[in-house]
Amino acid sequence: MCGGAGDSLLDDVRAADVDVYLTADLRHHPASEFVEAGGPALLDAAHWATEHPWLADAAAALTDALDVTTRVSTAVTDAWRLHGANNEGVK
């Protein structure tokens, strides 16, 4: 798993001999060539969704290491959102 854009790591993924690679922002040609060459399955999730889960841990590590105040934004900046009849903001 790689938070954020991870197609620069496709060679490392192949060498790791894994079944599935979860990352974001895969570019079409590198991803399709990777799969055609026998690489493992690719799961391309939204960029924000793959990075946000570890931000609280990163903020805590920075606070501890540098004695600074950190704040993690709660704004969802994901461009890809699922909207349905019961979702907030849908009319």
Tell me the pLDDT tens digit for each residue of 25-67.
899 999 999 999 998 999 998 888 888 889 999 999 999 999 9
At 88 the pLDDT is: 58
- pLDDT for 85 equals 57
End-to-end CA distance of the chain: 36
| 15: its two tokens | 């060498």
